[in-house]
Every structure is written in structure tokens, then in C-alpha cells.
Structure 1
Amino acid sequence: MTNDRKYAAIVDVETTGLSAYSSDIIELAAILFSYDPNTGEVFQVIDEYCGFQMPSAPINSHITRLTGITNEMVHNQHLDDDKIRDIFRSASGIIAHNASFDRSFLIQRYPELADKPWHCSMRSVKWKEYGFFNKKLTTLLDGHNISREHAHRALDDVQATLDLLQKKNPSGQPYLFEVMKRKMGKPASSKPKASYSRRSY
């Protein structure tokens, strides 16, 4: 039994579009948890946050159909930046599924996060070698019999990602161990993606 303990945060954002320069965050969720860096074992959830942000322009109907987030839900809502910064400050690394997307938005609002180690749960695990036909979060959750109430809702996706990363690969290691072994490079300029669905859910 090891006494080593580190802290990491899993984060997800829902947005009004694809570009971090022209679109807005409308929902953000983060979970801070402790884990053993030698094994990838998760010890406990330390803190969590989920909140809405009213965007600079109304949410279009496509995003509402995709996420279930309406203009009424975000009206006069604001993210608790102090709480969010506290969670990120406590984390030695930040995880997201298709992390390049979430990171591009988050560093616009929290520039200090550009210097944090980022880890991608979509790209850092050999999902296809393990028999999954794609790396979408929905595919991976279904393959591990993990349920979530709402796809494209930030807290549900974060909680489901944490559940997924506690499952074990064919070598008997938690997927979290693989994820934390690989850091993403420093962010380059953000480029819009072809479709919102490519966020890999």
C-alpha cells in the first residue's frame, strides 16, 4: 500500500459553438479527486462544481436540441470563477475527453490554465486496440455499462468520465493510469472544428 497521493480535476464545458474566440461557455462542470500516481487508483472525490453562464448572444436551437440547455436556464447566470479557480489550483493535472476543445475555451476565461498539465481521456488510452470501434464517450460508456442521465450536460459527462477512468484495461490497470502518463503539448492557436458532434460524445 502506497501513501502517495495526487489531485486531478476532470472538466467539461458546453458551449454555444465551436470556436473559443467567437463562442461562449454556457455550462461548466469540474470534479477534483485524489488518486495514486503509481497505480491510477482513485481515492476519493474532494470537491465538485457545476454552473451556468449567460452567453453574449442567445443560444441557438441546434445547441438547445443537443444539450437541453435553454436560454431560460442560463438567464442571468454566472460561473463562480473563484470556486472554479480553487478547484483548478488544487489539481496537479486537468483531464477532459477531447481535451483540446475544452482547453481552448477554458484558457480564454482562465489564462493561467495554459500552464497546467492537460491530459486527454480520448487520445491517451489505446481504445481501438482494446476493441472499441471509436473513441466517443458514448461508445466507451456503453462498452463499460456506465449510464448517464444526460449526454452533453457537463456534470453528467464529468461524472461518467471519472467512472470510466476507474475501469481497468486488459493489463489490469485503471485507464486513469494511462491518461496521467501522457501530457498534451502546449496549446497552439485554436481552429474551429467541422461540426459540434466531433466533440466525441
Structure 2
Amino acid sequence: MNLERKLAAIVDIETTGLSPHECEMIEVAIVLCSYDAQSGEVIELVDEYAGFNMPSTPIASYITRLTGITNEMVHNHQLNDKKIMELFNKADIIIAHNASFDRSFLMTRYPELIEKKWHCSMRAVKWKDYGFFNKKLTTLLDAHHIKREHAHRAMDDVKATLALLTHKNPNGNPYFLEVMNKAMSKPKIKVNR
């Protein structure tokens, strides 16, 4: 059997808030994995990166309660932009759960990512048609008996998303295949005149 081997970057971020124009990333995690472009089967983990980023203003207490990330944890940390772009540049596709959120922050810092094919594991799969109550990552992980040590920590969420996508839908295909086959449209760029 011939594999059509390609690379996917699974990414998750944690931020100081919801607006990519007013808030900052405080954690980024990426797993680069190979997959068969015909079957959607994940072949192997190739590389990974996780890093903190100290924001320009202190992390609000509600963000710490949600993520567990404290100001002490991010103190004097910066993202390794070179490593992040190295992983993204190797990837044929980028996948995130609720990708429009992650993409908006990442493209603010790395505008060249607009040229990459983005895929959303939350919207590309017919989760509700398959009987799931909602599309939230926690709901889907619980339904598939996938454990993660810390919810809302970037690497735990990335690895849990990847584990979820290796499970099969009612048709016997990996969820990864559905995600892979439905790319997001490119975002519109606002031009200031």
C-alpha cells in the first residue's frame, strides 16, 4: 500500500483575552505529525514545540483561573518565533479546534501564515450529526474517553485534539480525514487607507 505522506501542524494557543488586536498570546503549542493524505490515518509525531510568552501587561486573575498560567510562569519568557515558523513552514496543513480564534492571533504575529491551509476540527466534523451534545473540545474528549492533565493548557489541548482526530466516525473513517478535506477560506485582509 502506497502512503501519500504529508505533514500537519496541530496548534493551540492561550491568550490574555479574546481580541487579537488588544490581547496577547501567553502560550503556544504545536505538534507536527505525518499523515496519509488518502486515508487520513496519522502515521507518527515528527516534532513539537511549547513555549510561554510574557505579555506587556500582567495576566488577569480570571485568565489564570481558566488556564492555570500565572505571571510567574511566563516571566521573562518569549516565544521561539524561529522554531514556530519552522514547524508551520514544514506543514502542508494547520489544524486547530476553533481555528478562527487561534488563526487570528497567530496571523497577527506571523502574517505569512495567511498563505497556509487552515482546518478547523470544531467546524469541519459533523459532531452534532454524530450525536454529540456540542462541539466543545471538553465534550468531545469526554465522549471519546480521552484524558488530559490540564484543560486550557496549550500542549495538553493539542495532544488531546490529535488523539480525538485519530478516532473513527460512524462511517469508519478517522475524524482527521473529515478535517483534512475541509479547508477554511482565507481571511479577508483589512487595508487601512
Q: Which residue type is aligned with residue 171 of structure 1?
A: N
> Once the two structures are superposed, what CA deviation does each residue of 1:108-139 show, in whole Å capped at 9, x if it has no partner?
11111011000000000000010101000000
TM-score (norm 2): 0.97
Distance 2:23 2:183 in 1: 26
Q: Which residue type is aligned with residue 20 of structure 2?
A: A
Match of 1:155 in 2: 155
Match of 1:123 in 2: 123
Q: Which residue type is aligned with residue 150 of structure 1?
A: H
SS of residue paired to 1:49: strand
Conservation of the 8 A alpha-carbon contact between 2:12 and 2:28: yes
Counterparts in 2 of 1:11-26, with a 5 A limit? 11-26=11-26
Q: Which residue type is aligned with residue 159 of structure 2?
A: Q
Number of residue equivalences: 190
Q: Which residue type is aligned with residue 129 of structure 2?
A: E
Distance 2:152 2:138 in 1: 10
SS of residue paired to 1:178: helix
Unaligned stretches of 5+ residues in structure 1? 191-201
Counterparts in 2 of 1:66-77, with a 5 A limit? 66-77=66-77
Q: Which residue type is aligned with residue 186 of structure 1?
A: K
Unaligned stretches of 5+ residues in structure 2? none
- Are 2:170 and 1:174 aligned? no
Distance 1:22 1:3 in 2: 44
TM-score (norm 1): 0.93
Runs of 4+ in structure 1 deviating by more than 6 angstroms, as ranges, are: none
Distance 1:4 1:27 in 2: 32
Distance 2:30 2:188 in 1: 23
Q: Which residue type is aligned with residue 46 of structure 2?
A: I
Distance 1:117 1:100 in 2: 12
Conservation of the 8 A alpha-carbon contact between 2:11 and 2:31: yes
- Are 2:95 and 1:98 aligned? no
Task: State the Cα RMSD in Å.
Answer: 1.0
